[in-house]
A and B are shown apart, each in its own frame.
Chain A
């Protein structure tokens, strides 16, 4: 299997409200940033482009096509899109490179969640006959998952608050974070429940923004003369859409993906996991087999800023940055999609 090199990554600030800025305006600074990291001029200088976004956030069919305006796609470019987090746009790009159809690819993800009521918008990704007409929101689904874990004594509310406190602490060092600061576990637990058993602090904040990445073959990275990290393994797995048939206290799909991606084949110094709810970080830590030797979400993760459709890609970007800076030599990135961790992608990143 061909190794894939990540050569550039950039993420916007997580903004509670991007105001009048449209999606193209959210994307363009990130594209500019990754092009300049590699010394490229524009999208003409890569072989393939793939984006991840969700038309439901904009509330219009084929809204993602407007995102292509950020690329300057004249003369024509090879371009694709996934109606998923851009981590899956990365996956498609990797396949394209491994098939020998491209040596390099630009990936970007974007979302302006503030235009709508995100948990309700996401309710429409559910079963169209049995769940979507009820408008059951994603926070409520996660709350039922949390209760299962609590009542089976697989987690405690204190452990959930510890996840939040650690995320906010890490968020202080993340210039793009929306939340960050010192908050004690007791302070968090003193707050009333929001959708019980969840407190508002257990839920990732809603944010607008974008992220971009450039990947290529290691040969291409050396030709460009830029530092890079290698994706040595990647896999994604999905569980049934019927929540009643899943074991919501575990993440079977993450476990499987971690196995095939080779997570346990070496030490995991750092892990960036996409856990939009505090209890889900605990589930994911267990499914990935992470122990005390691993620093989980040094960026603060999505608990300090959740860019829908870009945060999964950002998890890889955060690990990439730490490897290229020499801070760590091996790490794991995880992305999720769907209610209660339905669909999960796991990647192993290593220093070149």
Chain B
């Protein structure tokens, strides 16, 4: 049986609405716009970055913000040889779980490096800011392997 002709059309998947991000997520994103990174203290005192509105264990509302460093350590990572069109980096790069200095919980972001060999668990990385920051997680354009001498 011949296959009928398949009609297809490009479709952009996305949120077609805006909403207020509230006092916790909003404060974090506003901080990014000002090039600072903040976390929040969980019920057990651990610092969660990015901040969560509620503690996943106790369900308590969290309020105590803590500013954390812009450098951190890779907790785990993977190497993307062939970036997908939607990915934020269009050359081979890494996704990593990064525990920022002063934080106890790792956050996920991308790491730019020249080659997979430069990445390892425990590697120090530092945040690279977008040219224009607008209050989005993408204000951190990526992380890069921190040099021997910290620039800041």
Please give the residue numbers on chain A whose beta carbons come within 8 Å of chain B beta carbons, in ascending order: 19-20, 56, 59, 116-117, 119-121, 123-124, 128-131, 133-137, 140-141, 143-148, 151, 193-198, 239-240, 242-245, 248
Q: Does B52 contact A (CB under 8 A)?
A: yes
Is B15 within 8 A of A116, CB to CB?
no
- B28-56 interface with A by 8 A CB criterion: 29, 48, 50, 52, 56
User: What's the least CB distance linking A73 to chain B, in Å?
Assistant: 27
- Additional A-B contacts beyond A129-B29, A143-B78 (14; CB < 8 A): A59-B13, A129-B21, A129-B137, A130-B108, A134-B109, A137-B87, A146-B78, A147-B77, A147-B78, A148-B76, A196-B78, A198-B78, A243-B97, A243-B106
**Across the interface, do B52 and A136 meet the contact criterion of CB distance under 8 Å?**
no
Ranked nearest first, the 5 interchain pairs of A and B with the lowest CB-CB distance are A143-B78, A240-B56, A135-B86, A244-B106, A244-B105
| CA distance in complex: A242, B76 (Å) | 15
CB of B127, distance to nearest CB on chain A (Å): 14
Contacts of B86 in A (CB 8 A): 117, 120, 123, 135, 137
Asked if A244 and B13 make an inter-chain contact with CB atoms under 8 angstroms apart, the answer reads no
Q: How far does the alpha carbon of A148 sit from the alpha carbon of B76 in the complex, in Å? A: 6
CA distance A124 to B76 in the complex (A): 22
B137 near A116: Cβ-Cβ < 8 Å:
no
Which listed residue, B85, B96, B107, touches A130 by the CB 8 Å rule?
B107
**Measured CA separation A133–B87 after assembly (Å):** 9
Q: Which residues of B contact A (CB under 8 A)?
A: 3-6, 11, 13, 15, 21, 25, 29, 48, 50, 52, 56, 75-81, 84-88, 95-97, 99, 105-110, 116, 121, 136-138
A244 to B105, CA, bound (A): 5
In contact, A140 and B97 (Cβ under 8 angstroms): no
Chain A neighbourhood of B52, CB < 8 A: 242
Q: Which residues of A contact B88 (CB under 8 A)?
A: 134-135
B120 to chain A minimum Cβ distance, whole angstroms, is 9
A331, chain B: closest CB distance, angstroms = 32
In the complex, the chain A residue whose C-beta lies closest to that of B5 is A20
Is B11 in contact with A196, judged by CB distance below 8 angstroms?
no
Question: For residue B25, which residue of chain A has the nearest CB?
Answer: A129
Contacts of A133 in B (CB 8 A): 136-138
CB of B101, distance to nearest CB on chain A (Å): 15
B77 and A136 form a contact (CB under 8 A): no
Bound-state CA distance A240–B56 (Å) is 6
| Residue pair A245, B108 in contact (C-beta under 8 Å) | no
Shortest distance from the beta carbon of A123 to any chain B beta carbon, whole Å:
7
A23 to B141, CA, bound (A): 39
- Contacting pair A135 B78 (CB below 8 A): no
- Interface core residue of A56, A198, A244 (most chain B CB under 10 Å): A244
In angstroms, Cα B21 to Cα A147, docked, is 33
A133 to B13, CA, bound (A): 12
Q: Which residues of A contact B48 (CB under 8 A)?
A: 242, 244-245
**Neighbour of A128 across the interface among B15, B108, B109, CB < 8 A:** B15
B85 to chain A: which residues have CB within 8 Å? Answer: 117
Q: Are A144 and B6 within 8 A (Cβ)?
A: no
Min distance, Cβ B74 to any Cβ of chain A, angstroms: 10
Chain B nearest Cβ from A242, distance in angstroms? 6
Q: A20 touches which one: B4, B50, B75, B105 (CB < 8 A)? A: B4
Name the distance in Å between B16's Cβ and chain A's nearest Cβ. 9
CA distance A128 to B18 in the complex (A): 12
A136-B95 CB under 8 A given contacts A147-B77, A147-B78: yes
Q: Can you list 25 A-B contacts (CB < 8 A)?
A: A20-B3, A59-B11, A120-B86, A128-B15, A130-B108, A131-B137, A134-B88, A134-B108, A137-B87, A140-B78, A140-B95, A143-B95, A144-B76, A144-B97, A151-B76, A151-B121, A194-B81, A195-B78, A195-B79, A239-B56, A242-B48, A244-B48, A244-B75, A244-B106, A245-B105
